[in-house]
Amino acid sequence: MNKDPNKGYIALLGWSLNAIEAAENFDRRYVVVAPDWAEDYCKQHDIPYVSWNFERLNDRSLEIAETLRDMGVDVSIPLFEETVEWAGAINSVLLDNPRLYGQSLLLRDKALMKRRAQLGGIRVGIFEEAHDHQDVIRFLKRVNQTLLKLDGDPNDPIHLKAFDKAGCLGHRVIRTPDEVDTIPEEEFPVLMESHLDGWEFAVEAWIHDGKIAFLNISEYVTLGYSVFVPASPELERYREQIRVQIEKLIKAFDIDFGLIHPEYFVTSDGEMYFGEVAYRPPGFKVFELLERVYGFNAYQASMLVFDPKTTPEEVAEFFPREVVDANGFAGCFGVYPRRRVVSRLEIPESVEDHPYFESHELTAPLEETVTKRTAFGTHWGLVYFKGDDAHTLRDLLKAQEDEDYYI
C-alpha cells in the first residue's frame, strides 16, 4: 500500500507475520525490529527491517532507541510480552516521555501491576509472591483457612503464575500440598493468587488520547481452551460496568495510548475482580477472531492508536460500532491431545459436519507419545468456528473438550 509521509512511522517490536502483513497493507511507514535470524527473510521479501536481539535491557539499550529516532521513527509497538519494556524504553526516547518506561515495567510484573491496581481502587483477589515451595504451601493453607475450610474438606485451589510471562504460560493450579512438589525449582519466584469463582473474561481496549476508542469483550468458555468474540448477551450486559473498570485502569496506569488486554472475573453478585493486564496483542488469535466478525484489522488498529500523528477523526472513522457491527460470533478452541499415544490427526465428524466449523491449524503429530500436560498453554493448534448464535457457539466450544482430534 502507498505510505502517507504525513502519518506516523512505526516500529514493530518482535516478529509476527500477521503484524507485518497488516503493516504492509496500511498507510503508515513501518519497520520490523527483530532478531538477526529474520534478516534473510526480510531481505528476500523486501520487508523493512532493523536487527535487534531482545535480551534483557542493558547498557546498549539506548542504541536501538537512537537508531530508530535517527531513522525518523515516531513510535514503537510491542508485539510480545517480552518486548513490552523495550517499547517502553524506546518510546520514552522517541516521544521524550521518561514516564513511559516506568509504566512499561509496571505492566511487565504481575505482582507490581496488582499492587498498582489495588492502589487505584480496583478490586483484586488475594495475592502474594512466592520464592520457594514453602511459601506456596503456606499461602495455600492460609487461603483455605480464610475460607473456613476444615481439615479434610476439599481445598479451594490457588493459581500460580510467572511474573513476566504472557497469558497462560507457566500458569498452574494447585489444590493440595502434594502438588506443590511438582513445581520445578527454576519456576520460582512466582505470583500466587486465590481462586475466584466466577466468569472469567478478557478485554481488548484500544486507547487513544487517554480515551477508549474501541472496547471488545472476549468471553472465555474454558480458560486456556476456548474464547469467542463478541461476548454472549449475558456478559455484554456488563459492558457499561466493564467500561468503567477499564477507565479506572487507564487512570491507575496513566495510559495515554495503545492497546491493553486485561483479564477480569465477574462473580455471581456482579462484582468485577481485576486479574492482570498486558500491553500487547492477546494470544489465542483474538485478533483474527475480531477481523472475522468486525472486518477491521486489529494490528492496524494498534498502529493507529499508537501513532502520535493520528487524529481523533481518523480513529472514529476506523473502528466499527461495538457489538452491533459484528456479523456473528467467532471463536476458537485450542486442541490438546487427550490420549497418551496418538497416530494421526482426524477432525471429529461432529465438528467436520457442523456448519459453524471454519478451519483449523492443526498439523499431523510429529511424535506418537504425548508429553504430559503440566501447566496451561502450549496447545497443538487452534480450531476456528463462526456462527450466528452465541449460545450455540459457546456450547460447541465447550463440547470440544470431550472430542478427540488426535487418535
277 within 8 A of 262, measured Cβ to Cβ: yes
Q: How far is the CB of 317 from another protein (least distance, A)?
A: 22
59 binds another protein (CB under 8 A): no
Name residue 92's beta-bridge partners: none
For another protein, the closer CB: 97 or 350: 350
Mutual angle of helices 298-306 and 17-24, in 10-degree steps: 70
Q: Segment near another protein (CB under 8 A), from 77-85, 172-180, 186-194, 357-365?
A: 357-365
Choose, by CB under 8 A, the member of 70, 186, 353, 367 that binds another protein.
353
Q: How far is the CB of 48 from another protein (least distance, A)?
A: 12
Q: Segment near another protein (CB under 8 A), from 38-46, 57-65, 82-90, 180-188?
A: 38-46
Q: Which amino acid is at 406?
A: Y
C-alpha cell at 183: 513445581
27 binds another protein (CB under 8 A): no
DSSP assignment of 229-271 equals ESPPHHHHTTHHHHHHHHHHHHHHTT--SEEEEEEEEE-TTS-
Question: Pick from 246, 290, 201, 255: which is nearest to 88 by CA?
Answer: 255
For another protein, the closer CB: 17 or 316: 17
Choose, by CB under 8 A, the member of 364, 371, 372, 402 that binds another protein.
364
Residues 6+ apart with CB under 8 A from 56: none
C-alpha cell at 202: 478478557
300 binds another protein (CB under 8 A): no
How many CB atoms sit inside 10 A of residue 220's CB?
19
27-65: burial string, b at 16+ Cβ within 10 Å, e else: ebbbbbbbeeebeeebeeeebbbbebebeeeeeebeebb
For another protein, the closer CB: 44 or 268: 44
39 binds another protein (CB under 8 A): no
Q: Segment near another protein (CB under 8 A), from 70-78, 102-110, 261-269, 361-369?
A: 361-369
CA distance readout (Å), 155 to 137, 152, 241:
12, 8, 31
Rg (CA), the chain: 22
Q: Segment near another protein (CB under 8 A), from 71-79, 104-112, 193-201, 355-363?
A: 355-363
Beta-strand ranges (E) seen in 99-231 are 127-130, 158-162, 172-174, 190-194, 199-208, 211-222, 226-229
For another protein, the closer CB: 214 or 405: 405
40 binds another protein (CB under 8 A): no
Q: Which amino acid is at 312?
A: P
18 binds another protein (CB under 8 A): yes
355 binds another protein (CB under 8 A): yes
Choose, by CB under 8 A, the member of 27, 39, 41, 323 that binds another protein.
41
Choose, by CB under 8 A, the member of 110, 195, 360, 379 that binds another protein.
360
Element (H, E) at 110: helix 110-119
Q: How far is the CB of 332 from another protein (least distance, A)?
A: 12
Choose, by CB under 8 A, the member of 182, 267, 343, 350 that binds another protein.
343
Q: How far is the CB of 355 from another protein (least distance, A)?
A: 6
For another protein, the closer CB: 269 or 353: 353
349 binds another protein (CB under 8 A): yes
339 binds another protein (CB under 8 A): no
Residues 6+ apart with CB under 8 A from 148: none
17 binds another protein (CB under 8 A): yes
Q: How far is the CB of 359 from another protein (least distance, A)?
A: 4
Q: How far is the CB of 406 from another protein (least distance, A)?
A: 12
Q: How far is the CB of 11 from another protein (least distance, A)?
A: 18
C-alpha cell at 329: 460470533
Q: How far is the CB of 396 from another protein (least distance, A)?
A: 16
Q: How far is the CB of 364 from another protein (least distance, A)?
A: 4
Residues 6+ apart with CB under 8 A from 103: 88, 253, 254, 255
Distance (Å, whole) CA 201 – CA 386:
19
Name residue 204's beta-bridge partners: 216
370 binds another protein (CB under 8 A): no
Q: Which residues bind another protein (CB under 8 A)?
A: 17-18, 20-21, 24, 41, 44-45, 47, 343-346, 349, 352-353, 355, 358-361, 363-364, 407
